[in-house]
């Protein structure tokens, strides 16, 4: 059983409650198991909002002490609003504990803006841990046709457009997520870019994706489990087996896996078996602030593809 932190242990968080010297959003990553007792807490800074995400049902005294300490830290972090998100509850519950949410809230990264939605449930619409993946894509996107599988709110799409992509296709089951993606596109000055938003199941859309072109860059960042539509061990191999028919003769891929119980080698083995012509180039580093005691939950693997000779 995981040890619950006492109110007296709040001071252990003090080193993380200072303005970062870089552009990180994650101030404290308890999920990385680097601070015993606080494995169920993460802290994210999106000025003027500080978000404490709780994965454990902490005792009331500990919650009160945590709120007091975080409230004291707000001014020094350039924030005036404290949000608690209780992920251990079903459904997740988001509470404003200090201040008030701005009319629109944004995550800013590398000169781009991504809309945050505090009403959408457990996800705010932006994954800070994928910053290296967005940078990877932006560096390679100029003039490229990009396919963003399982696009969610299309942060990869915005990064690709910032890098000069010729066109982007986003596909995701969630219409609200894609609507937020279109808002992100417009907010960053790409309203006239060649972007498609497909609110479809990937497995029923291969013909449509093929009709929209052969892609020079593909990003696959599926959920680990999405009820009724995707289970990573069952369905990711099926996705990989289909990609060769969507890729240009020479292309690049970013294959992502966010399943703590599966190692990166599992994905490499699946790609080697299911995607002939793909050569592993390397694993992207973790995002700043996401320190892990063991292998990170998020794995992002870069590949180069060359179509095999017939």
* pLDDT at residue 4 tops 60: yes
- C-alpha to C-alpha distances, 162 to 125, 146, 182, 184, 267, nearest whole angstrom: 19, 12, 14, 12, 29
> pLDDT higher for 168 or 213?
168
Q: Which long-range contacts (CB under 8 A, 24 or more apart) does 37-42 make?
A: 37/3, 37/4, 37/5, 37/9, 37/12, 38/5, 38/9, 38/12, 38/13, 39/2, 40/2, 40/88, 41/66
pLDDT tops 60 at residue 40: yes
pLDDT beyond 90 at 165: yes
- 1 compared with 298, residue with greater pLDDT: 298
When pLDDT is averaged across residues 154-174 and rounded to a whole number, the result is 97
Across residues 221-238, what is the average pLDDT? 88
Measure the CA–CA gap between 49 and 189, rounded to whole angstroms. 24
Instruction: Give the per-residue pLDDT at 2.
Output: 53
Q: Is the pLDDT of residue 148 over 80?
A: yes
| Rounded Cα distance, 81 and 86, in Å | 16
Residue 110, pLDDT > 50, answer yes
* 3 band by pLDDT with thresholds 50, 70 and 90: low
| Structure token pair of residue 271 | 């790609």
pLDDT tens for 187-227 read 999 999 999 999 999 999 999 999 998 999 999 999 888 77
* Structural domain spans, the chain: 7-103, 128-306
Whole-prediction pTM: 0.94
Bigger pLDDT: 88 or 253?
253
Percent of the chain having pLDDT more than 90? Answer: 85
Identify the CATH homologous superfamily for domain 128-306: Vaccinia Virus protein VP39 (3.40.50.150)
Class of CATH domain 7-103: alpha beta
* Consecutive H or E run containing 43: strand 41-46
């Amino acid at each position: 059983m995981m040890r619950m932190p006492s109110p007296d242990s709040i001071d252990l968080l003090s080193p993380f409650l200072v303005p970062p010297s870089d552009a990180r959003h994650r101030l404290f990553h308890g999920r990385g198991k680097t601070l015993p007792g606080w494995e169920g807490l993460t802290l994210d800074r999106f000025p003027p909002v500080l978000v404490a995400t709780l994965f454990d049902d902490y005792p009331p005294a500990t919650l009160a002490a945590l709120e007091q300490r975080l409230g004291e830290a707000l001014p020094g972090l350039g924030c005036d609003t404290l949000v608690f998100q209780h992920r251990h509850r079903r459904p997740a519950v988001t509470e404003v504990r200090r201040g008030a949410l701005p009319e629109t809230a944004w995550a800013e990264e590398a000169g781009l803006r991504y809309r945050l939605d505090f009403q959408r449930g457990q996800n705010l619409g932006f994954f800070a841990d994928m910053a290296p993946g967005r940078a990877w894509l932006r560096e390679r996107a100029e003039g490229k046709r990009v396919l963003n599988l399982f696009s969610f709110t299309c942060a990869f799409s915005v990064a690709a457009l910032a890098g000069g992509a010729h066109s982007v296709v986003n596909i995701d089951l969630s219409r609200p997520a894609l609507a937020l993606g279109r808002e992100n596109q417009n907010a960053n000055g790409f309203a006239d870019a060649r972007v498609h938003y497909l609110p479809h199941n990937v497995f029923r859309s291969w013909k449509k994706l093929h009709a929209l072109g052969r892609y020079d860059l593909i990003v696959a960042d599926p959920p680990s489990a999405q009820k009724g539509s995707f289970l990573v061990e069952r369905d990711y191999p099926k996705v990989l087996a289909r990609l060769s028919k969507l890729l240009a003769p020479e292309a690049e891929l970013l294959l992502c896996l966010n399943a703590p119980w599966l190692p990166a080698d599992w994905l490499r083995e699946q790609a080697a078996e299911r995607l002939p012509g793909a050569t592993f180039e390397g694993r992207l580093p973790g995002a700043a602030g996401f320190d892990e005691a063991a292998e990170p939950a998020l794995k992002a693997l870069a590949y180069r593809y060359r179509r095999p000779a017939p």
